[in-house]
Amino acid sequence: MSAFFHGVGSFFSHLASVHWQYLALAVLCHLLRTAAVSRAWFNILRASYPDRRFRWRSIYGAYVAGVGVNAVIPARVGDLAKLYIARRRIPDSTYTTLATTQVSLTVFDFTAASLLLIWAAIAGVLPGLSVLPSLPDANWFLIHYKLLGNLLLVFFVAIIVGLILAAHRIQDFKNRVARGFAIFRDRELYLRRVAVWQAADWTLRFVAIYWFLRAFSVPANFHNALLVQVAQSLSTIFPFTPGGAGTEQALMVFMLDAVTDVDKSTLVAFAVGMKLTVLIVNVIIGFGAIAFMLKTLRWREAAEADKAAEAARGGQPAAAEAGAPRP
C-alpha cells in the first residue's frame, strides 16, 4: 500500500495532462463490463433456480456491491456482501449454491486468464524471480510463507473435521453444489447465455485499458493493453491489499517500461490513475447499491440481524428478506 500511495503524488503531478474525454470513455467501458458480468451471473442463477422469480437488476446490485466492498477491503470480503444480497433477492436460496454459481462464473475467466499468462510466459514479458521480492504483496508473501503454510494447514484440517462431523448432511451439501453447476448441463445454453456475456466482459476490459492508456498519454495498442491485463491478473494472486493496490502498479510499470519510451513518472501516473479511477467508480456504484438495496451501508450488521432472525424462525428466511416480489 505504501508503494501505491507513493505513486499517488506522480498521478496528481500529471493531472493537468490527463485527456478527460478518453478517461470518460474508459469509465463507460468499465461500467458496461460490470453489467456484462452481472448478466452472466444472472443467467447462471436462473439455471440453478429455474422455479424462482428474481430480477437482473437485483443481481446487478449484488454484484456491484461486492465489487465496491472489495475495492476498499482486502481478502475478497466483498464476495460475502455479494452473496448476502443475492440470497435476500432469491427466494429460498442457499449460500452453498450461490457460492457455487460464483465458481461457475470463474470457469471462463480462469481459462481466459490462463491463456493470457501462457502468452505472457512465451513472449517473455513476465518479471523474473529476482523481481518478485520487490513487489509489495509478493514480498510480504515470501517473508511470511511459513505462517501462511500453517494457516492453510489449519484451514484444511478444519474442513476435514467439519466434513466428518457433518457426514449425515453431505448428500444435501452435494445437491446444493450440483445446483450451482446446473448451467453446464446444457452446453449450448452456457455458451449462449454465459460465455457470450463473459466474452463481452473481456473485450470491454481491453477497450477500457486502451482508453486509459490514451488518457494518460501512454502508447495505446493491443500489445500494451495485453501487458496491463497480465499485470492485473497477476496482482490477484496476492490479495493482501484492496484490489491488489501496489503490486498491480509495480507490475504495470515494470512491463510497460520495457516496451515504451515513456518516462517512469508517466507510467506510474497511468498505473495509479487507472487504479484510482476504477476504485472511485467501484466504491460509488457498490456502496450506492448497498444503500439502495439494504437501506444502510452497514451490510455486515444487517447480515447478523438477518441471521439472528432466521435462527428465531428455525432457519427459514422471511419471504421479503429472501427476495419475494414486492408490490
Going from N- to C-terminal start, the domains of the chain cover 2-304
Query: Phi/psi at 108 (nearest 5 deg)?
Result: -65, -45
Q: Check residue 79 and give its pLDDT.
A: 86
Q: Check residue 323 and give its pLDDT.
A: 41
What are 38's three cell numbers? Answer: 452481472
- pTM, to two decimals: 0.78
Return d(Cα 307, Cα 310) in angstroms, integer.
5
| Low pLDDT (below 70) residues in the chain | 1-16, 75, 127-170, 237-246, 299-327
What are 308's three cell numbers? Answer: 439472528
Residue 133 and residue 139 in contact, taking contact as beta carbons nearer than 8 Å: yes
Q: What is the pLDDT of residues 270-284, one digit of tens each?
A: 888 898 899 999 999
Q: Check residue 48 and give its pLDDT.
A: 95
Residue 214 and residue 237 in contact, taking contact as beta carbons nearer than 8 Å: no
Return d(Cα 58, Cα 42) in angstroms, integer.
9
Q: Where are the beta strands (DSSP E) in 185-242?
A: none
Q: How many CB atoms lie within 10 A of CB 175?
A: 12
